[in-house]
Structure 1
Amino acid sequence: MSVPKQAPGWAVLTLLCLGQLMVVLDVSIVNVALPAIRADLGFTEVGLQWVVNSYALTYCGFLLLGGRAADLFGRRRVFVAGLALFTLASLAGAVAQDPTVLVVARSVQGLGGAILSPATLTLVTTIFTGAARPRAMAAWTAVAGGGAALGSVLGGVLTGLIDWRWILWVNVPIGVLAIVAAYMVLPESRAEGERPRLDVLGSLLVTVGLIALAYGIVNTTGEGWGAIGTLVPLIGGAVLLAWFLFHEERVAREPLMPLRFFRTRSVTVANLTMFWLGCAVIAHFYFLSLYMQNVLHYGPLAAGLGFLPGAAVMTIGAYSGPALMKRFGLRPLAIFGPVLVVAGLVWLSFIPVQGSFVTHLLVPMMLVTFGTGVAMMPINFAAMTGIAPQEAGLASGMINTTRQVGGAVGLAVLATIAATRTGASAQTMVDGYGLAFLIGGGFAVLAVLTSLAMPKTAGLPAAPPPQPAESTDASPSPA
């Protein structure tokens, strides 16, 4: 299909940002809807976390593969394919009548998101040139950063005013319109010259390994650590992840995760810090939503709006990053941010049955989210230190994947721990959620300790590599 040669830059950018927004929203949009989903479909307390983790695990497992597919098969083609898969999975989840169907649908959604998300960024960087590129990148980054926080708010609005199924239904008409718009305004392009090979086996190994490991952890609640149903997935997951590391180091010609990167101290420390921070922070939104609705009896709308202050201060923290780094340096911020997260999570561990929003939720939540926002930029910069310019994109994808893996593993561990204390009464719920916040604070302490090893010389990432020659059907004019 031909593409208009003068497609407006604003139309192209709006479409690409919309695609990215759909992906990041669905990481968190289910949080506020979890109690309603549990009541409707009959999830167990510990099984409920799979509504979140099934999406996160397939998303992070295939994210790097999706980025390479865009260069290999054509960026518009991959954008449309990811969007179509994401939309169809949303439809399947919206009509699900039992837990298994919803979890499978969310897994396929995560796969669609892993295909779609890197295609949006690649299209932004290849379509927009000159002075238009920084503006386009700023818009995409704002959507990517704020979308996850906005998800909890939107999830509360849709669940409170209509029904929980609309958190998935809403993707269907938007996805269909976006697919049509893609053929109208996006040019087709792919990288010229030698194209990357797809490490499909690597993606399968890490994804199935993580899912098996998370399943084994969760299964300890019902069967204990010594049961066959626990040991088989735990051992199997560990074997698959070990195989993945061997495959990446010795077998894969173009590995998803080049282990040589970790010979650089700043890269290793940054990824470890991000992993522990992901374990601590992503799960805390899950438990905040359950506490507000199950214990404080907030409606979904009120719970969703309760996340707004945290979203605002996270954005402030993130945007303060460049100025704070210029004044204090990278290493102090990489330490200070996780310290604030520790303080906020330990504070949250003391939540009472009769809690006050301002005293028991607002202040500690803002500590957690502001600390996370402050820490993100220096950790990302450290992850790029010492990386060759032509590999900057791969290193950036690795740190994003590390954050998602940390969030998935942290949620599996904390949901399992909380389930050992959580019961039907408000007091047992508070006991379980409080313990989860406290252990989450322990993960944040590990992030602090890891960040102390950050080299003082860690600095700005390598300059972006020159853009490869492109084969395009048309070139929309940038805004």
Structure 2
Amino acid sequence: MNLGRTKGGPDAPPRQAAALAALAAAQFTVLLATSIVNVALPQIRSGVGLSDGGMTWVVNAYGLAFGALLLAGGRAGDLLGRRRVLLAGLAVFAGASLAAGLATSPGLLIAARAVQGAGAAAVAPAALALALNLFPPGPGRGRALGVWGAVSGAGGAGGVLLGGVLTQAWGWPWIFHIVALGTMAVLLAVVTLVPRADDRGSGRFGSGRFDLLGTVTVTLALTCLVWGLTTARGAGWTGVPVLGSLGAAVVLLAAFCVIERRRPDALVPPRLLTAGRVAAGNVLMALLGSVWIALFFFLPLYQQQVLGMSPLATGAGQLPLAVANMLGAVMAPRIARRIGATATLTAGLLTEAAGLLWLSWMRADGSYLVDVLGPSILVGLGLSIAFVQLTSLAVDGVPRQDTGLAGGLVNTTRQVGGAIGLAALATLAGSVTHRTPTGTPPLEALTAGYQAAFTTSAALLATTALLALLLTCASRRSRVPRDTAPAGPGGPPHGRPLPRNPTARSVPGNGENR
């Protein structure tokens, strides 16, 4: 695929394509770490003595730290220089990965995963902002976002595959050791291939332009929210710890909103949410993320605990999903040019919803070929198509100086949505399993929980598809009356028609069928 052709111009120079490859590798690495533990969870559980809730936290400690600190990571890149923050994040990520592989207790492992997520929070928004700055708005950027979607989806599915291979061959610690080695290789590639010209910051932390209060408040709020959802499975929804944690989350989120409205250096400036279709894109990305991480959590557990597949076979079983994911990301810009961005997004969400609904029919006495293969392909196609369109939508119309923050925001909503979704769906699945009638075979009880999680996920994505139509149409009417928009950041000059679709003209994510 030709990644570097820009509007009306020749192919991108080889160094530009090489820089994009290095940045995409950084994105792949942080998403790989999200799912690489999933296949190894049964082995990790016995190796370090994890409880059922501890297994969820091995995944959620990473996702929560990743999501809660992404805004801070994006803002740090805007202030201190994105290349510099990217390199620092990769170094922290590699060190934490090594520590996770050496952990001998649940506390150490979960703490290492949280630090790993903090490093990823610096990597992801900086890498996306640098990649966007490599390509001006137009077809070249659309193809670059297609690559971004492909590696993002492949990171999730590839993590399951690689985790299975490493766990069966050398044991679960190697899933972290390999990530550490790969991260160091990516760090060297970024040093070599990504130009220093893009490493310009606009300020310093000491200048009072970094919103430390907002960062601490939103991080504590999200931690309380996920903690409450996770502990509800054991303590019950009316338990004091659950109600206290959820109540604290509401108070802290309200305080965060007040803080952001009053600070000139807000972590989430109001101008960002009013630029283009950023708000709509992030709402939809949060809903997509809420089922994304849960998918790669439940599916490997079903394959191993119910179907009895080995870690290696479970990982290999994710290959069709990974291939479909990459194919969908490549197809997404082309489909959008033909039918418009909103139709493409809706089709992607409904395709994934259909695959999840199919998964909800899984049986305790099922098989991989009947119960997993077909729906995995549908899910992979729909997930990548929707992801590419939502990434475009969420950075639409954002000024260059805020691209790091916008990249951090869209990654935040996906990761936070994923952490909340996994906590809620894991609690739902566990509750359904525990409430099955006495005498129900254990495998049937487990399967009933997984069925409930996938049914709920399918319903949520179908609702997201409807919401996508409403939000994008509403934002188009408010922003683009009669196919024109006022002058200003993110908009064309007065009277100039807006582009028809995100990859054929100037602004990605801005095209619709008129």
For normalisation by structure 2, the TM-score amounts to: 0.79
Match of 1:67 in 2: 74
Secondary structure (helix, strand or coil) at the match of 2:471 reads coil
For residues 264 and 422 of structure 1, do their structure 2 counterparts lie closer, same or farther at Cα, with a shift above 3 Å needed? same
Output the CA distance in 1 between the equivalents of 2:145 and 2:378: 28
Match of 2:31 in 1: 24
Which of 255, 265, 268 pairs up with 1:243? 255
Counterparts in 2 of 1:204-243, with a 5 A limit?
Answer: 204-243=216-255
Match of 1:452 in 2: 469
Match of 2:113 in 1: 106
Match of 2:490 in 1: none
Which of 394, 401, 410 pairs up with 1:399? 410
Counterpart of 1:39, as a letter, is S
Percent sequence identity is 40
2:80/2:202 contact within 8 Å kept: no
Counterpart of 1:61, as a letter, is A
1:17/1:120 contact within 8 Å kept: yes
**Deviation by residue 1:195-240 (Cα, 9 ceiling, x = unmatched):** 7832233222222211211111111122122222112211112212
Counterpart of 2:214, as a letter, is G
Counterpart of 1:29, as a letter, is I
Counterpart of 1:429, as a letter, is L
1:36/1:164 contact within 8 Å kept: yes
Output the CA distance in 2 between the equivalents of 1:330 and 1:182: 32
**Deviation by residue 1:23-42 (Cα, 9 ceiling, x = unmatched):** 12101111111121122223
CA apart distance, 1:257: 2.1
Which of 124, 139, 148 pairs up with 1:117? 124
Counterpart of 2:451, as a letter, is G
CA apart distance, 1:127: 7.8
Q: Is it true that 1:166 corresponds to 2:174 in the alignment?
A: yes
Output the CA distance in 1 between the equivalents of 2:131 and 2:282: 26
Secondary structure (helix, strand or coil) at the match of 1:452 reads helix
Output the CA distance in 2 between the equivalents of 1:287 and 1:224: 22
For residues 130 and 232 of structure 1, do their structure 2 counterparts lie closer, same or farther at Cα, with a shift above 3 Å needed? closer
Secondary structure (helix, strand or coil) at the match of 1:455 reads helix
The Cα RMSD (Å) is: 3.2
CA apart distance, 1:352: 0.7
CA apart distance, 1:261: 4.5
Output the CA distance in 1 between the equivalents of 2:373 and 2:412: 29
**Deviation by residue 1:135-180 (Cα, 9 ceiling, x = unmatched):** 9877666534432221111111111211111110113334455556
CA apart distance, 1:83: 2.1
Match of 2:494 in 1: none
For residues 383 and 112 of structure 1, do their structure 2 counterparts lie closer, same or farther at Cα, with a shift above 3 Å needed? closer
Match of 2:497 in 1: none
Counterparts in 2 of 1:260-339, with a 5 A limit?
Answer: 260-263=271-274, 266-339=277-350
Output the CA distance in 2 between the equivalents of 1:460 and 1:33: 42
For residues 393 and 112 of structure 1, do their structure 2 counterparts lie closer, same or farther at Cα, with a shift above 3 Å needed? closer
Output the CA distance in 2 between the equivalents of 1:121 and 1:267: 15
Aligned length: 457
Output the CA distance in 2 between the equivalents of 1:395 and 1:460: 20
Output the CA distance in 1 between the equivalents of 2:20 and 2:271: 35
2:347/2:382 contact within 8 Å kept: yes
Secondary structure (helix, strand or coil) at the match of 2:260 reads helix
**Deviation by residue 1:344-363 (Cα, 9 ceiling, x = unmatched):** 22221121111121221111
Secondary structure (helix, strand or coil) at the match of 1:454 reads helix
Q: Is it true that 1:439 corresponds to 2:451 in the alignment?
A: no
CA apart distance, 1:112: 0.8
CA apart distance, 1:263: 4.9
Counterpart of 2:258, as a letter, is F
CA apart distance, 1:72: 3.2
1:279/1:406 contact within 8 Å kept: yes
Q: Is it true that 1:425 corresponds to 2:435 in the alignment?
A: no
Counterpart of 1:191, as a letter, is R
Secondary structure (helix, strand or coil) at the match of 2:453 reads helix
For residues 352 and 182 of structure 1, do their structure 2 counterparts lie closer, same or farther at Cα, with a shift above 3 Å needed? closer
For residues 412 and 259 of structure 1, do their structure 2 counterparts lie closer, same or farther at Cα, with a shift above 3 Å needed? farther
Query: Is 373-382 or 170-179 further displaced after alignment?
Result: 170-179
Query: Is 105-114 or 221-230 further displaced after alignment?
Result: 221-230
1:310/1:366 contact within 8 Å kept: yes
CA apart distance, 1:378: 2.9
Counterpart of 1:27, as a letter, is T
For residues 334 and 157 of structure 1, do their structure 2 counterparts lie closer, same or farther at Cα, with a shift above 3 Å needed? same
Match of 1:4 in 2: none
Secondary structure (helix, strand or coil) at the match of 2:238 reads coil
Output the CA distance in 2 between the equivalents of 1:336 and 1:14: 28
Secondary structure (helix, strand or coil) at the match of 2:37 reads coil
